[in-house]
Amino acid sequence: MESAALLDTIDTTVVPDAVVTAAEACSCGSGLLRMHCCGIDPRQVVRELPEDETDKADRLEAARKRHDREGVRAAVLAILALAPGHKEALQALFDLLQKDENWDAAGAVVDRLARIHLNDPVARMIAAQYFLARHDMLRAQFHARIMVRLAPEALISHMIMGRAFLTSNNGKAAEHHFRIALNLPVPRGPDVPRRDIEASLAVALRDQGRIDEARALFGTLADGTSDPNLLLAWAKLEESDRKFEAALALLDRAEAMAPGHPQLPIARATLFHRTRDNDRALALLDAGEAGSSGGLQEKGQILDSMGRYDEAFATFAAFKARQTEVTGHGYQVDRAARLVNDLREFFTEGRSRLLPRASVRDDHPQPIFIIGFPRSGTTLVEQTLSAHPDIAAGDELPIIHQLADRAQSLLGSLLTYPKALSEMWLGDRAGQVDSLRDLYLNEAVRFGAVDPAKRWFTDKMPLNETHLGLIHILFPRSPIVHLVRHPLDVVLSVFSNGLTHGFHCAYALESAATHYALIADLIADYRAALPLNYLPVRYEDLVAEQENQVRGLLAFIGAPFDPATLAFHENARYARTASYAQVTEPLYTRSVHRYRNYLRHIEPVIPILMPAIEQLGYKIEE
């Protein structure tokens, strides 16, 4: 039968998807026709089999009982050819695709399952858990949020929502859901042990920097525990708080419980690396779980610190390949380019002049925006500033990104962001700029970023510079401190760390360079179009001339100099970024021009970065 004829008869053929040709198959790899898979309209999909075809559901059940994998597959494809929204068949296909390790297709099918059966909390639970395990936080949060709305009295709803927030570095929101789960008077749905909820709460407290509270809760839970994961989480707290002996003792306890635990070699290696025992750390990884994402990343960092740069780069490349394999993520180049193009077209000098600016809330602490591509030195600056008695550390606040995502609904616009901001050109909506400002400030309070006794708080969310136009109209007088570092050092450091910011650009060296160049050009456009309260700070100058640079930085902000800012490494706050270990050490220069050790490996990205290198006044030194 020709393809066209087959498509014409698709709804009445008995098992059409079982004979799908390569040309007709959906590109996601599910084995279904595109019109029954990713090309389907969820609002019009058939969900139930015709009465004269119900025997196909019986065949599926019989194949399941026989544990006949291919029989299940044939039955599923037959059902979904007639009823593409059939719940049990979609779930069975999802299970098969997971066993096949066909992650893209599994994600497409479970996402469709939840969207077709949009009011089914179990479908939302399956989808949220899958995307959480795949580190797809956007879709994990999407389904988890709906699950909470559908089943607010279910423990599992709040546990999944809390874990999604926790994995997205939003410990405050995670704590909110874990506490709800602990205090539900009559919990519904699947049971979740109370100790599991409390252990997750301890991690949420740790990740907010509430070290003493987290340590106390870990201590209570660890009394008589048989869970090595709890001890590993507690050891992470002690390691980050520089209590290395306590961390080692906890790892010893965990190993006594579970000698073959795959995370133990990585945790021990991290600890030994921090105490400069690199040979011992490397030996542990070589003998243990060096093939996992975490193991490869730590091994690469250790090899780098030992001066074994070729081996380190090869290990970082293996780390990125493994990360891509596990998560299925890659740089979303089209989405990134589309957003940047829209921002450039909207925030022209002429258009921006017409936008209202929010007034300054003199009754409220004000934000200091520390911007810069990830791994530029923003954590170092925040650690420095937050040692000042007038400045609180806000850490990585997602609020600006959230306001951008919600601008259309918040402003009641028919247009998406940034065009939705054009609503404020209208006389009856100009005042909404103050409402957006207040929403940011209220959210900052909820995140625990604001200390009422201090004049300022920091916001160092990575790639906030993407939204400098929005930042400017909400806080036209707030200081914007831009950390600038040699682009080759930045991109190399991004490549050697497990970052997810910037449309997953960090999954490859070339895409990290591409996104860096894209954002560098956007910043230049913003600076030309807007009167920003802006100060560029070179990382290299900060390292070489610390006091002079810090004095200039504080003068720009309007804060008096305080000697405590020069001893940033003594700042007791918990830094929960990839730089947490570095900012607990005195200032060092070993990260300056680190790229020279890897020049032959990073040569392919030099043409991409050369315009930014020249624009920022850097050179390439061998």
Q: Closest by alpha carbon to 263, among 243, 244, 235?
A: 235
- Burial track 302-318 (b if 16+ CB lie within 10 A, e otherwise): bbbeeebbebbbebbbb
For residues 139 and 555, the model is more confident at 555
| pLDDT grade for 13, boundaries at 50, 70 and 90 | very low
What is the predicted pLDDT for the residue at 135?
Answer: 85
pLDDT at 205 over 70: yes
| pLDDT grade for 44, boundaries at 50, 70 and 90 | confident
| pLDDT grade for 170, boundaries at 50, 70 and 90 | confident
Q: Kindly compute the dihedral angle of the four CA atoms of residues 334, 337, 340, 341, in this order, to the nearest 10 degrees.
A: -100
Tokens of 545: 């001339």
pLDDT digits (tens, 9 = 90+) for 219-240: 999 998 999 999 999 999 999 9
What are the φ/ψ torsions at residue 447 (nearest 5 degrees)? -75, -5
What is the predicted pLDDT for the residue at 584?
Answer: 52
pLDDT digits (tens, 9 = 90+) for 323-337: 888 887 889 999 999
Q: Kindly compute the dihedral angle of the four CA atoms of residues 512, 515, 519, 521, in this order, to the nearest 10 degrees.
A: 110
Tokens of 289: 């779980």
What is the predicted pLDDT for the residue at 3?
Answer: 32
Interval 242-247 mean pLDDT: 95
pLDDT digits (tens, 9 = 90+) for 456-477: 999 999 999 999 999 999 999 9
pLDDT at 517 over 90: yes
Interval 596-610 mean pLDDT: 97
What is the predicted pLDDT for the residue at 348?
Answer: 96
- Burial track 49-64 (b if 16+ CB lie within 10 A, e otherwise): beeeeeebbebbeebb
Query: Alpha-carbon distance 385 to 108, whole Å?
Result: 45
pLDDT at 350 over 90: yes
- Burial track 386-416 (b if 16+ CB lie within 10 A, e otherwise): bbbebbbbbbbbbbbbebbeebbebbebeee
pLDDT at 430 over 90: no
Q: Closest by alpha carbon to 424, among 496, 473, 476?
A: 473
Locate the DSSP E strands across 452-596: 456-459, 480-484, 534-538
Query: Alpha-carbon distance 189 to 147, whole Å?
Result: 12
pLDDT at 575 over 80: no
Sign of the CA dihedral with 485 first, then 491, 492, and 497 last: positive
pLDDT at 11 over 90: no
Strand order in the sheet with 366-371: 391-392, 456-459, 366-371, 480-484, 534-538
What is the predicted pLDDT for the residue at 43?
Answer: 75
pLDDT at 17 over 50: no
Do residues 25 and 33 touch, judged by C-beta distance below 8 A? Answer: yes
Is 160 buried (19+), middle (13-18) or exposed (0-12) by CB count in 10 A?
buried
Query: Alpha-carbon distance 115 to 124, whole Å?
Result: 8
| pLDDT grade for 34, boundaries at 50, 70 and 90 | confident
pLDDT digits (tens, 9 = 90+) for 290-349: 578 889 999 999 999 999 999 999 999 999 999 888 887 889 999 999 999 999 999 999
Interval 354-374 mean pLDDT: 96
Instruction: Please tell me the class of the 333-615 domain.
Output: alpha beta
Interval 46-67 mean pLDDT: 93
> Could you tell me if residue 209 is left (phi over 0), alpha (psi between -120 and 50 degrees) or otherwise beta?
left
Q: What are the start-end ranges of the H helices in 275-431? A: 278-287, 293-305, 309-327, 333-346, 349-354, 378-385, 399-410
Interval 578-595 mean pLDDT: 65
pLDDT digits (tens, 9 = 90+) for 127-138: 999 999 988 888
pLDDT at 423 over 50: yes
Where exactly are the structural domains of the chain?
Answer: 333-615
What is the predicted pLDDT for the residue at 462?
Answer: 93
The pTM is what?
0.82
Do residues 530 and 364 touch, judged by C-beta distance below 8 A? Answer: no
Q: Terminal CA-to-CA distance of the chain, rounded, Å? A: 64
Compute how many other C-beta atoms are within 10 angstroms of the C-beta atom of residue 202.
26
pLDDT digits (tens, 9 = 90+) for 379-395: 999 999 999 999 999 99
What is the predicted pLDDT for the residue at 309?
Answer: 97
